[in-house]
A and B are shown apart, each in its own frame.
Chain A
Amino acid sequence: MSTLLPYLVSGLALAGLAAFANLMLGPELAPSPLATLSAFAELGRSGELFRELAITLGRGALGIFLANIAGFSLGMAAGLIPGALRLLSPLVAAFQACPPILWISLVMVWAGTGSVVPVAAVFAATFPFVFSTTAQGVLGLDRRILAMSRLYAVPKSRIFRLVVLPGVFPYWLAGFSTVLAAGWKAAAVAEFLGSHQGIGARIFWNYHKLNMEQLNAWALVLILLGVALECGVVVPLRRKAAQAGLKDVSSGA
């Protein structure tokens, strides 16, 4: 019960805000919590909820997967090549500072609308972080252990498998948790602007038609998805990274 209480209180506060908005603006602009829940239930009954959810999550997962493949490989290389990260750090900082809207605009110009836009937006929003945390992980490796490995002529494949990969893992894990939290939000924004499918696109169309009950229902889907990812995946991953001997490197991101 004590675990569920914060969720209950937060849910009631959210419903209270919606009820207040309903009172102040009227049902045309701010539907009641009950009307929103009813629209939400209808989305579930019709199957539309799960269809659009799967599209958004699939796009987010693909973008995050590609960002991890590229970010991990290049971050590893940048960490292993002396001086490379120092030379690239302004570029990485510049990429991290770019808002997703910039990438979304560019990809829409280059590739039109569709799945490419959200996948590319997620990739662009998450790649720099995976890259820099992985490279930092390599730089954080115990130099004495690497010196010891060279002294005994330990094969490079064994050094990579038993020292580099496990040493970088907590850094990557902490970075991955942040990437998960950020990735699906970038996917939803990209769908809003540059796609016909997915939760973001549904929000755009309902906004366009001023169908506020549906708009609120999709907003509720986004909120629930965010809370589920945060509590079910992101927080446990950060806990695991901390247990693996690393302070939360993602907290400042």
Chain B
Amino acid sequence: MFLPVLEISGIAKSYAGRQIVASASLVAARGEVVCLTGPSGAGKTTMLEIMAGVVSPDKGTVRHITPPALMFQDDALIPWLPAEANIAYIQPPRLSSSAVAGIAARWLGRFGLERHVLPAAMSGGMRRRLSLARTLASGRELLLLDEPFAFLDDAWQKIIAEELALRAAAGSGIIIATHAVAPLCRISALQERIRHIAVAGAPLVIEAT
């Protein structure tokens, strides 16, 4: 059964007179992994940010059936907070401190990160893993991931693709902007869940409703 998790329609966006997104319409479903691929500068990041609601489109509508989580292209980690606190930062205030500590410990352990390390002391790959850990630790069911495999070696790419497969199987909708779909294609459980949308270049056009 097709259960939508995000609907966007007729999106257009320009920056400083340059059109980045010409027309984008998409309906993404639970359990689906939508891969947006295309060259750098094609507008994929802008599109994800519009989908997340952190950037307003000039035209069109965005409808979240469930609140989104966004893994930013540049990580958007808080530089003066250690790894654990970066994950704890986005947790809802209704959770107790021990519950928050448990969530952080689980995701840090899953992605091989130490709780007291500051982002500045991490490699690019570690920062990427922390950014993804924070996104997944939000517990949200609409995941918007901007280049989640960047700076990661094959082993970590596989672990993360497996984690995404688990989330998709549990009913999350996942939209990924990426140059590399190979790590996802290697996971057999994802084969039937992947929808590949190739974009040619700016301005971006998507018709996938």
In the bound complex, how far is the Cα of B207 from the Cα of A238, in angstroms? 55
Smallest distance from the beta carbon of B144 to chain A beta carbons, Å? Answer: 10
Say whether B76 faces chain A, with CB atoms less than 8 Å apart: yes
Could you tell me if B89 and A245 are in contact, using CB atoms closer than 8 angstroms?
no
Query: Which of B69, B79, B92 is in CB contact (< 8 Å) with A245?
Result: B79
Could you tell me if B76 and A152 are in contact, using CB atoms closer than 8 angstroms?
no
Secondary structure class of chain A's binding surface, majority of residues: helix
Count CB-based A-B contacts (< 8 Å).
38
Mask: chain A, 148-166; 1 = CB below 8 Å from B; 0 = not: 1111111100100011001
Could you tell me if A147 and B90 are in contact, using CB atoms closer than 8 angstroms?
no
In the bound complex, how far is the Cα of B80 from the Cα of A152, in angstroms? 19
A151: B residues at CB distance < 8 A = 52-54, 68-70
Give chain A's interface residue range (CB within 8 Å of chain B). 10 to 19
Smallest distance from the beta carbon of B10 to chain A beta carbons, Å? Answer: 23
Say whether B25 faces chain A, with CB atoms less than 8 Å apart: no
Smallest distance from the beta carbon of B185 to chain A beta carbons, Å? Answer: 29
In the bound complex, how far is the Cα of B52 from the Cα of A25, in angstroms? 78
Mask: chain B, 49-72; 1 = CB below 8 Å from A; 0 = not: 000111000000000000011101
Taking Cβ atoms with an 8 Å cutoff, the residues of A that contact B are 142, 144-145, 147-155, 158, 162-163, 166, 245
Could you tell me if A155 and B78 are in contact, using CB atoms closer than 8 angstroms?
no
Beta-carbon nearest neighbor of B93 in chain A: A155
In the bound complex, how far is the Cα of B93 from the Cα of A147, in angstroms? 18
Beta-carbon nearest neighbor of A169 in chain B: B80
Known contacts A158-B93, A162-B89; is-contact A152 B78 (Cβ 8 Å): no
